[in-house]
């Protein structure tokens, strides 16, 4: 149980275009999903917290207009990288908590990540 599907797993796009990454909780509902960015040999950097039906909460230093997050339902959150540039190339990972167990002592369920390459 507790499967999070992230799509696509890999994407290559040209500089200036936009890319949408989807994060779906397949067998549970998630009122909160988290988006992370992972640099090579670095930890996961929390970009934003996505709350179903409301605006996402962004971490300091993350551009809201560049990384658009939408959490339209209890099972789907999307991250859109707008006007992508080569420096946006990275590994993006989403995670979610089951709404039935949403306390801070419950583990996160992770998607398999998306490798974005901007040429």
Partner 1 sequence: AQSVTQLDSQVPVFEEAPVELRCNYSSSVSVYLFWYVQYPNQGLQLLLKYLSGSTLVKGINGFEAEFNKSQTSFHLRKPSVHISDTAEYFCAVSAPEGYQKVTFGTGTKLQVIP
Which residues form the interface with partner 1 (CB under 8 A)?
4, 6, 9, 32, 34, 41-44, 46, 49, 51, 57, 91, 93, 95, 97, 102-105, 107-108, 110-113, 115
Report whether the peptide linkage leading into residue 8 is cis, meaning its omega lies within 30 degrees of zero: yes
Cβ proximity of 25 and 34 under 8 Å: no
CB nearer to partner 1: give 23 or 118: 23
| Tokens (6 digits) for 13 | 């796009």
In angstroms, give the least distance from the CB of 115 to partner 1: 7
CB nearer to partner 1: give 14 or 41: 41
Determine the Cα–Cα distance for residues 117 and 84; give it in Å rounded to an integer. 9
In angstroms, give the least distance from the CB of 64 to partner 1: 16
In angstroms, give the least distance from the CB of 62 to partner 1: 14
Can you state the percent helix, strand and coil of the chain, rounding each to 5?
A: 5, 50, 45
CB nearer to partner 1: give 6 or 77: 6
In angstroms, give the least distance from the CB of 80 to partner 1: 20
Determine the Cα–Cα distance for residues 78 and 36; give it in Å rounded to an integer. 12
């Amino acid at each position: 149980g507790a499967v999070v599907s992230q799509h696509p797993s890999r994407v290559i796009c040209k500089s200036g275009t936009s890319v949408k990454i989807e994060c779906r909780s397949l067998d549970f509902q998630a009122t909160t999903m988290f988006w992370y960015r992972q640099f090579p040999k670095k930890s996961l950097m929390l970009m934003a917290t996505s709350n179903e039906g409301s605006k996402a909460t962004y971490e300091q230093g993350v551009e809201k207009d560049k990384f658009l997050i939408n959490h339209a339902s209890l099972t789907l959150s999307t991250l859109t990288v707008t006007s992508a540039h080569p420096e946006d190339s990275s590994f993006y990972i989403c995670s979610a908590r089951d709404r039935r167990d949403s306390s801070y002592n419950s583990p996160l369920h992770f998607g398999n990540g998306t490798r974005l390459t901007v040429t």
